Amino acid sequence: MARADKQAAVAEIVESFNDAAGAVLTEYRGLTVKELQDLRRSLGENADYAVVKNTLAKIAANEAGISGFDDLLVGPTAIAFINGDVVEAAKGLRDFAKANPALVIKGGVLDGAILDASEIAKLADLESREVLLGKLAGAMLASLSQAVYLLNAPLAQAARLAGALQAKAEEDPSILAGGAGTPAAAEEAPAQEDAAEETPAQEASDDAPAAEAADAAADDAETTDA
């Protein structure tokens, strides 16, 4: 390969590393061309599967700031550059490897961290982004339903209380003034007080003739003695 071609190939791999959310290194020894095509189709939009030369991949990884790939870049190597859901891509590679044992997952990189084959397998066991979003949406809907219930419950209680108060007011309008019979009692109170104030005056008036008769009798007795 000419020097210019090598530089172009390295630059392309570097760009793939930089644009991808992660990358999984595989060994494809024993896979047919058709099986490789099937693998690419199974990954879909989640990853681009590219066969690379180990020497060029090492140079590209170093230029992209990725270290620790040298031990993985042995034998026929193809890299799945993950552009979509990382978990879905890992699941796709795992499932294809189960059906086609010739595909060997050697490791990968995610967010700058080097992953071995077992860690890629654990990544494939996680729930996909769509499932997690679905669960999150379900939890949010449940929270909203609880909030609506909590908001509506006091309003319903207030409505029942207002209805009961209206029905009571129709039976006894004075309840709206502070309680049944309150206004009438308030009006009668001054009359009772006035009656209480007039009673001593009336008693004094009734006793006046008796007092005058007593005084007159006393005056007659004094005149007779004289």
Q: What CATH number does residue 100 fall under?
A: 3.30.70.1730
The answer to whether 66 and 2 have CB atoms below 8 angstroms apart is no
Task: Name the residue range of residue 101's domain.
Answer: 3-126
150 belongs to a structural domain: no
115 belongs to a structural domain: yes
- How many helical (H) and strand (E) elements, i.e. helices and strands, does the chain have? 7, 5
Helix (H) or strand (E) holding 38: helix 33-43
- Summarised one tens digit per residue, pLDDT across range 64-77 is 999 888 888 989 99
- Summarised one tens digit per residue, pLDDT across range 165-210 is 677 767 776 655 655 444 444 444 444 444 444 444 444 444 445 4
pTM of the complete model beyond 0.85: no
88 belongs to a structural domain: yes
- What is the number of domains present in the chain? 1
139 belongs to a structural domain: no
223 belongs to a structural domain: no
176 belongs to a structural domain: no
- Summarised one tens digit per residue, pLDDT across range 5-26 is 889 999 999 999 999 999 999 9
37 belongs to a structural domain: yes
Residue 175 CA to residue 178 CA, distance in Å, equals: 5
**Those residues with Cβ within 8 angstroms of residue 167's Cβ, 6 or more apart along the chain or in another chain:** none
Measured in whole angstroms, the distance separating CA 105 from the mean position of its chain's CA atoms is 39
Q: Would strands 104-110 and 113-116 be described as parallel, antiparallel, or unpaired?
A: antiparallel
134 belongs to a structural domain: no
